[in-house]
Amino acid sequence: MENVVLIVHLILALCLIGVVLLQRNEGGGLGLGGGGGGSVSSRGQTTALGKLTWAFAVAFICTSITLTIFAAQNSADTSVIDRLGIEAPAPGSVPVAPSGDDLLPPPADGGLVAPPPVE
């Protein structure tokens, strides 16, 4: 069932992209300028592509919510840490901080110590 919804979701995404790209550019991005097509109201005419865009968008959101519900049901049993097999620290245990020597970068000469000068 989840695979069917996922395939429908992907098809809706492609259809939504196609319908948006087919619409006429009315200019003035973000609703600035472009006029209302000479009508008195600020709302333009609803075209068939506009209605189809809304239908695809609503269906896309519905399939998104459905897929989210499926994912929540599948992950309710275990966590990602449980799937990796990493054991969690015991409750009440204090993590040990690394010592000061572990935090220093390695010496530039590769760790070799120069002998003391001979006089």
DSSP string of the chain? -HHHHHHHHHHHHHHHHHHHHHSPP-SSGGG-SS--TT-SSSS-PPPHHHHHHHHHHHHHHHHHHHHHHHHHHHHSS--HHHHHTPPPPPTT--PPPPPHHHHSPPPTTTTPPPPPPP-
Higher pLDDT, 82 or 50: 50
- Give the total number of structural domains in the chain: 1
Residue 92 in any domain: the answer is no
Domain presence at residue 112: no
What phi and psi values does residue 52 have, to the nearest 5 degrees?
-65, -35
Residue at 67 is within a domain: yes
Residue 88 lies in a domain: no
| Residue 37 belongs to a domain | no
Residue 6: inside a domain: yes
Residue 115 lies in a domain: no
| Domain span holding position 63 | 1-22+50-74
- Does the predicted model carry a pTM greater than 0.75? no
For residue 45, being part of any structural domain is answered with no
pLDDT of residue 14: 97
Q: Which residue has the higher pLDDT, 57 or 86?
A: 57
